[in-house]
Chain A
């Protein structure tokens, strides 16, 4: 198949035809199963905290999330979580474990630059966007909702 000569105008369109097409259905199935299993594990944890440790249903989220983050940080340290991530794609990135993975892996990656400038500075390199967008949107929506509740 003859291709046009590459120039800056058609580069994006032309380069797309060279990229492999991702197997959409297979990727979605992997993400569904791994993501679903992480949530089932989280549900099992919160049932455990409710029945054995006396947490209320609302408060059980805190120890559950903390446990998931601890496990995910450890698995990232051992290099296992990244292998799960290659298999599962969004299935391991979207649960809160993916948030902990991005914190830990960014810090590990820059460890050679030292504890302060490497680990501590880069801890939120990837996860920072999540917190920034979360806080900005929640702040704006909170102000709007509160203003609304004053008048209606």
Chain B
């Protein structure tokens, strides 16, 4: 059942992105930036966690979950360290994603030849 909801919710988020590309004529960079901000805003109202419980990877794989994880890590540390915790924790949960994007992106770019 989780697989079906992951497909439907993940697909629906991508359709919103496609509409922003086609109808609102935004560039992919604008769409991705807006989605990250949207994810952070949804998490600020504790809504994004409900979506993850419900759709699993359908909510964690789209880029909106990046904004959600940034704020989530920040709030976890803020409970412990106060205002400074926001800065301490902001990359806590996204560290795996950013670090591996840098590592694999760099290695692939060094090894492979550009196509086209």
Residue numbers of A with Cβ under 8 A of B are: 22, 24, 27-28, 30-40, 42-47, 61-66, 68-70, 73-74, 76-79, 82, 88-91, 93-100, 102-104, 107-109, 111-112, 115, 119-120, 123, 126-127, 129-135, 137-139, 141-146
Instruction: Check A69/B101 contact, CB under 8 A, given A42-B60, A77-B111, A94-B35.
Output: yes
Q: Interface SS of chain B: helix, strand, loop or mixed?
A: helix
Please, which residues of chain A bring their CB within 8 A of the CB of B56? 43, 46
Q: Interface SS of chain A: helix, strand, loop or mixed?
A: helix
Interface size on B, residues (CB 8 A): 74
In the assembled complex, how far is the CB of residue B48 from the closest CB belonging to chain A, in whole angstroms? Answer: 12
In the assembled complex, how far is the CB of residue A130 from the closest CB belonging to chain B, in whole angstroms? Answer: 5
Closest to B59 in A: A39
Please, which residues of chain A bring their CB within 8 A of the CB of B8? 36
Chain B 16-56, CB within 8 Å of chain A: the 1/0 string?
01111111000011011111110111011000000000011
Q: Besides A62-B96, A94-B17, 12 other CB < 8 A contacts?
A: A39-B7, A43-B58, A61-B65, A74-B104, A77-B108, A90-B15, A90-B21, A94-B31, A134-B39, A137-B71, A138-B70, A145-B75
